[in-house]
Structure 1
């Protein structure tokens, strides 16, 4: 699948995610989507990211600021959205779960506002 097709599929799922979060009574603002390599290097160096192969570099990841009743939500509060996101495609991963790795004790890196489509 071409990168344009991957990005289009990602964007289509982001639109579905937004509809679901509105249906559940959440409000979201946009965080980071596209990221230059120089910023990724800084994030890895400072521990904000664990990889130089971020899907943000390919425009297939987005960080959302998700609110309910005017308050910024944490991992547990948006877990239903993460489960929904991962149900849309086997390529989709939510940073609050990494497809179950956190709950299984195989990862401790929690990035709950992060939603991505694996392109590799």
Structure 2
């Protein structure tokens, strides 16, 4: 069985030294563990004798080289982006956002058809 639940102590600073202090038995056990090899009975898991090296990662070609090139161009300083890009960049971003596939009932895009304002 478990021990009884005692009363809740008042709010205040806690003296953590008692819980963090190691006993002499704990120190002796730690010293013995450092001196000799740990026996299998004291370890929580089985120790494997051989460890297989990891396989090298497979080299994958990019899925779409044009997309990788476009991403690189966007990252360069000469590329127009954001509000500073002007109407062409904003129109392209809008068409890309609205042209993406429907992602479920939590989709925030307006339904296709008449554009109308909704009160929130």
Instruction: Give the shorter-chain TM-score range.
Output: under 0.3
What's the TM-score once normalised by structure 1's chain length? 0.20
Higher helix share: 1
What's the TM-score once normalised by structure 2's chain length? 0.20
Higher strand share: 1
